[in-house]
Structure 1
Amino acid sequence: MNHQPVEGFSKLSKQRKIDWLISEYLSNDRSYEQILQQYWNNDPDLQKLHEEFSENTISNFYMPYGIAPNFLIDGKLLALPMAVEESSVVAAASKAAKFWLDKGGFKTTIINTKKLGHTHFILNIEPHKLQHFFNFKLKKKLFEATEDITANMRKRGGGILNIRLIDKTEEMPNYFQLKASFDTVDSMGANFINSCLEQFGKTLKEEVANEADFTQAEKDSLQVVMNILSNFTPDCIVRAEVSCPIDELKDDSGISNEEFAWKFKQAVNIAEIEPYRATTHNKGIMNGVDAVVIATGNDFRATEACAHAYASRNGKYSSLTHCTTDNGIFRFWIDLPISVGVVGGLTNLHPLVKFSLALLGKPSAQELMSILAVSGLAQNFGALRSLVTTGIQKGHMKMHLFNILNQFGATEEEKQHFVTYFKDKTVSHHEVIAELENLRSKK
């Protein structure tokens, strides 16, 4: 079928959007409309709120919202909200939290909270001449021009921390940056940062145009390309860690404490040197981080991009977590760059986000950074613990069992049969199908 483009789709009503999609792409099968309507909220005001979060909304896409209890973080016992569809994530986090509960729990340290943004511009000028102009005239003007924008943030203890001129002309002809660092306190701060940067661009144009020491050719060469925050925040870092004597690392898999510690450390070391393993290793970390990020209304795409960029900061992709076993002490930690907020955005709008933040004791942005780092560390501990002992599939496939059974329309009676059947076996897709066919053939 040759589909036709549509004009003014965003201006159509929700019903007309659905009608067009069903007609154009779904062979006029109205059963798809029923699927969409099943996920509408019965409360029209709540449904309208959800629709206004995004563009061209025709339904809601639900994800399971689970709880991982028993997280002892800096002396506080918390239950973490996790919005995630992967079956083993909440279970693994909960198991890791319980493991460390009687060993002092998780300790965290906020290393820095600096966020960054840039005005990117092209100017055909000698770098030393531009640097002199920046040092003695422009920098002061930039702070002055943004005073109104930063007033409220400064009252809360934040604002623009510093502005630097960055010479990138060796990498790209005539390319410079105004690189600014910010403290946005409890907000993620994207709108605040971008507003400041856009004012930087305007002020830069005005001051260059009025600079008596610049030639007309230099003035005419200025092009402000863009003003935008960076989601790479290598100076917005939180550390989360666990530690205990190796002789307290009791594991129920049957291997000794010493062997467990040795194998665990080797697994982390492999992820530190082997990018193929590091990618999967860090993905597991972000399973835990993203689930809490989503549940608290923050931007999981930004946290993902930042974490993976940070993992590559030394020129080779590597593990975000590290492990030592010195002097009989097992220590496992993560340094996570992450920029999140607890005010603004969905935090004031989405009912479940409000619930999540209330559940966590209405944390500050720094406290949420700590919680997220702990969630990632716990997830990684749980995965590595399985990998170096029983293997990842035993626990993962048991959690996946109900997904397989639901695909084949299993009854509650059949599901209970399989819980018993796989009590001492490793779940496999093939074995589930074979046993289901056997069970149904007897009926």
Structure 2
Amino acid sequence: MDRFEDFSSMSAEERQEWTAQAAGLSPEQRELLRQGGGLPLEVADSMIDNVIGTYALPIGVVRGMVVNGKEYLVPMVCEEPWVVSCAEKGAELAAQCGGFHATYTGSIMISQIQITQVTSPHVACLKILEHKREILELANQADPVLVSLGGGAFDVEAKPLDTEVGSMVITQLLVNTKDAMGANAVNTMAEKVAPLLAQITGGKAYLRILSNLAVHRLARVRVSVSREVLGGSAVVDGVLAAHAFAWNDPFRACTSNKGTMNGASPVACATGNDIRALEAGAHAYASRSGVYRPITCWERTASGDLEGMIELPMAVGIVGGTTRTHPMAGLLLRMMHVESAAELGMVIAATGLAENLWTLRTLATGGLQAEFVPSLERRQET
């Protein structure tokens, strides 16, 4: 079957079988996919507090997502109609023009330690940097396994901060978390070095926690779509007008970014990653200039075609956490055939860009309701 053949003409069972064959799932994995939810109550009880049951959401799949020349089946867990279709239609446009091209800056997380009651904050920052080697050695004692894998804390930053409750010093550990999201690792490191920092500065340590604004952990994706594939020069004009609206109006930018995260967040959810962290980082990054902007950018090429890009903080992992404990998250992650957190992050960002591409195209040529509501009503009637 062609990768972009309409799935809607197939039953859910037929789509399961097609996906299982395309992903090379084992009989045991196919059975888990058929179970629906795939989370035993006893496993759920080990994941969060006060468990009383489980809650299932649909799993959709995007076919034909081409990133750096590799084709992916991309699972998406969400409740909103036509989100999966938008991502797949955007992926189809991109695939016809060479797919998405992506890079990743590295799995670097920031861990912050807040020191208050510091009388000379600027001098205290210099003292912290003078003890950089000692701080890093102590931090890495907190996670020798990560260090053995080539990760760990590798740099220290310090900055004074004037606030309404007085001056403070913020120390930031830069930590390579490798293929883990790394929240637990960097939090533990922050707690480990806090007493030393208090001793160095003569202040009092309070917060010891990661930042979800992962500016050193960016997935960058670009795509070029010819005007012929997109639907003509008028469609290019419409997409650029829609983007200009979002770029200059935060009310529109908010909804535009929500639409982009319609693509990214369901993939993170499917693979057991922290969607709240991903979305918080995305919206904070969208405001880094002091004005809330779209997290995608669209431009016209010299030949009149459409080019777009996304730059997104991407703190995701393929080991540990829910990816290890949730059977279905593990299965869906294996279905993608990604080999690193970097690769997963690039595919997630590409899915967000695909979602935004088709959404803007649809809004510029008639609207989401006109395109998708009739097909949704037909499905619900049957």
TM-score if structure 2 supplies the norm length?
0.85
In structure 2, what is the equivalent of residue 96 of structure 1? 90
**1:160-239 matched pairs, under 5 angstroms:** 160-169=153-162, 173-207=166-200, 219=202, 222-239=203-220
Question: Helix, strand or coil: the match of 2:137?
Answer: helix
Distance in 2 separating the partners of 1:289 and 1:110:
15
Cα pair 1:306 1:337 within 8 Å, conserved:
yes
Are positions 1:395 and 2:371 aligned together? yes
Q: 1:373 aligns with which of 349, 354, 364?
A: 349
- Please tell me whether the aligned partners of residues 187 and 365 of structure 1 are also in contact (alpha carbons under 8 angstroms): yes
How big is the shift at 1:183? 1.1
Q: Deviations over 1:47-88 (max 9, x none)?
A: 211222111111111100111111111111111100011011
Pick closer, same or farther for the CA change 1:397–1:49 going to 2, 3 Å: same
Aligned residue identity for 1:282: N
Q: Is the 8 A contact 1:269 1:322 kept in 2?
A: no
Answer yes or no: is the 8 Å Cα contact 1:109–1:238 preserved in 2: yes
**For residues 207 and 239 of structure 1, what CA distance do their matches in structure 2 show?**
38
1:266: how far off? 1.5
Higher relative contact order (CA 8 A, sep 6+): 2
Distance in 2, Cα, partners of 1:53 & 1:307: 25
Unpaired runs of at least 5, structure 1: 1-40, 209-218, 252-256, 406-414, 417-443
1:127 and 2:121 correspond:
yes
Q: Is the 8 A contact 1:357 1:363 kept in 2?
A: no
Deviations 1:279-306 (A, max 9, x none): 1100001111110000000000000100
* Matching residue of 1:345: 321
Larger radius of gyration: 1
Structure 1 runs (4+) deviating above 4 angstroms are: 41-45
Aligned pair count reads 347
Alignment of 1:241 with 2:183, yes or no, is no
Task: Work out whether 1:330 is the aligned partner of 2:306.
Answer: yes
For the residue of structure 1 that corresponds to 2:79, the secondary structure is coil
1:143 matched to 2:136: yes
Q: Is the 8 A contact 2:93 2:229 kept in 1?
A: no
Report SS of the residue matched to 2:153: strand
Residues 120, 227 of structure 1: 8 Å contact kept: yes
Deviation at 1:399, TM superposition (A): 4.7
1:186 counterpart letter in structure 2: D
Structure-2 separation of matches of 1:347 and 1:282: 26
Residues 127-152 of structure 1: per-residue CA shift (max 9 Å, x gap): 3432342233x323212322322432
CA distance in structure 1 between the partners assigned to 2:37 and 2:80 by the alignment: 28
> 1:421 matched to which residue of 2?
none
Q: Give the structure 2 partner of residue 265 of structure 1.
A: 240
Scaled by the length of structure 1, the TM-score of the pair is 0.74
Q: 1:170 to 1:290 in 2, by over 3 A?
A: closer
C-alpha deviation, 1:337, in angstroms:
1.1
Question: After the TM superposition, which of the residue ranges 288-297 and 112-121 deviates more from structure 2?
Answer: 112-121
**Mapped contact 2:140–2:189 kept (Cα < 8 A):** no
Distance 2:37 2:336 in 1: 26
1:422-442 Cα distance to aligned partner (Å, 9 max, x none): xxxxxxxxxxxxxxxxxxxxx
User: Superposition RMSD on alpha carbons, in Å?
Assistant: 2.2
Counterpart of 2:358? Answer: 382
Displacement of 1:313 in angstroms is 0.7
Match of 1:56 among 38, 50, 61: 50
Distance change >3 Å, CA 111–CA 45, structure 1 → 2: closer
Q: What percent identity do the matched residue pairs reach? A: 30
Distance 1:359 1:162, change over 3 A: same
More displaced stretch, 155-164 vs 338-347:
155-164
On the 8 A contact 2:47/2:325 being kept in 1, the answer is no
